[in-house]
Amino acid sequence: MTPIIKSTWDRLKEPQKPPHWTTVFRWKKNYLEAGKDITALTGEEYNKGNRKPRYPDEVINIVEQSIETIYLTRERKTIQDTLDNAKAAVIKENHLRPSSIYLPFPTRTLVKGMISQLPAFDKYAARHGRTAAIKKFRSVQSHRTTNAPLERAEIDHTILDLFVIDDRNGLPLGRPYVTACIDDYTRCLLGINIGFEPPSHLSVSRCLKHAFLPKIELNQVYPSINKKWNAHGVMRELVVDNGLEFHSQSLEKACFMLGIEIHYAPRKVPWFKGKIERFFNTFNKGIAHGNPGTTFRNIFEKDDYNPEKHAVVRLSILREIIYIWVVDYYHQKNHRALGLSPASMWDSSIHSEDIPLPDNPAIIDAIMGRKELRKLTHKGIELSGLLYNSPELTELRRKHGDSIDVEISVDDGDIGSIYVFAPDKQTTYMVRAISWDYAEGLTNWQHRVFKNYSKKNMEKQDINSWIMAKDTIFNIIRNESLLKKNKSNKKVARFTDTERLIDRPLTKSKEINSDIISSPAPEFTTYTLDQLSGKFKTFTPIQRQRISSYIQEDSDD
């Protein structure tokens, strides 16, 4: 058995030495006794030790601050200096407290342990300078160092430790998901998506579109933001984990067309995308766990929001808080590994004319959408029961055949229109749904809910029944706010999170008629290949070659 184990182990390329044959025998025994449940082979290491924190959050925050201001500096002060500073801060804090709730003093073991958890590269860069750190770690961690903005970015999701209520009716919405994309070189946040859509291609594409494009309207929408959010652009490499949303063909094809190389983080190697992990740790502490400080004082005051008294915040206020925290605090705060703030690092490392980005945001919508192969017939293109058609699609059929297969791109956040790629891949059309009054601004998930409701409660299944279902469900949501104000409902949140729909007057049943099905298709937009994949201010030959090869491969098929 030993030779077989060794051969299998070598094929798996595991770094540890092969297990003994008795260990393999025990694995098999446990596996069979558990009814072939693979979880029976999971180790119990995670159950060891005391998992309850020994120190209150206030002490941990004080030690973190002492490490930041004492240990991680070019003066290279000692662990003892850091401990002394933390103890002094605890004494100062205890002067403001009754003796019954005094904070305990941190120990050297605590300080040393927290320092040991910091990445070696970041510690060395903070104490010796970034150049010295790059030189020291280049042979071991060359894959972790970059030389320019947008050379490498990391993206991931988290769920915010904060409950949110709807702005319009006070209905609890639950904890929102946050998808964020961070630039490796400058530590600037390139893009972020906040909502109640679970991790999916939609949440990833929304975050990446926000990352690609300049945030030119942010300060107009939120006048309380003082600084500019300059970080944006198309990155060369994108580091992701192994979630299903990152393994979708639509994402891979979109990145391929944009010249982005996807790097999947190996299992059990958290430092491979450690920058986004550490950002989320800082983000959650700054937004949900700690005292917001003077940065958010005006917002909280004007909305009578006390984070120590209330466990909720309105959705619109949460978005504003997050944008302020990113732009005015995180981007402006000195970063220990950089020696300066992320915003300063970005501004000093790249000029706006050197940032690769598309000229037309609609191009990004076409590229980043979910790709499907659909049949184009005289009725148009059918998608989830909806029809999409235009005079240009009729011309395509005349040119290529009465019934042809075409690739489409769908934005699951708005199925009111789709993008259709011509068979020769030289032209792309934006085609609206024939039932535009129903589909405009509608998410794919909402549409499925309306269809399911219609199927269970109505005799006939057509566009009219879906409109009635839409009207009924939104009335239910409004009533929900009156009857169940203390109950969190994430399904409701996925509706109210789509702000365009909830504000728009709904179509009443008396207005439903058959004309909506046969009405002429609305106006369309046409994009040439140059518009779709060539209009970059910085478009490298390698990107052009990739897009050309992609088109050629599809043409050959």
Tell me the C-alpha distance between 367 and 253, whole Å: 8
Q: Kindly give the parts of the chain with pLDDT less than 50.
A: 45-46, 139-143, 290-311, 482, 486-487, 498-557
Quote the pLDDT of residue 347: 93
Tokens of 233: 């652009």
Residue 492, classified by CB atoms within 10 Å of its CB into exposed (0-12), middle (13-18) or buried (19+), is: buried
Domains and CATH numbers, the chain: 2-47 (no CATH), 145-354 (3.30.420.10), 361-434+520-535 (no CATH), 444-518 (no CATH)
Residues 6+ positions from 26 with CB-CB distance below 8 Å: none
Query: Is the pTM here over 0.75, yes or no?
Result: no
How many Cβ atoms sit within 10 Å of the Cβ of residue 353?
7
pLDDT value of residue 273: 73
pLDDT value at position 111?
93
Amino acid, res. 229: W
pLDDT at 492: 60
Residues β-bridged to residue 182: 154, 189
Q: Give the pLDDT confidence score for residue 227 in this predicted structure.
A: 94
Q: What is the reported pLDDT for 391?
A: 92
Side chain identity at residue 535, one-letter code: K
pLDDT of residue 499: 42
- Per the document, the length of the chain is 557
Is-contact 30 41, C-beta < 8 A?
yes
pLDDT of residue 62: 92
Q: Which conformational region is residue 385 in: left (phi greater than 0), alpha (psi within -120 to 50 degrees), or beta?
A: left
In angstroms, the CA 317 to CA 224 distance is 11
- Give the model's pLDDT for residue 85: 93
Q: What is the pLDDT of residue 327?
A: 94
Residue 70: closest CA among 83, 89, 57: 83
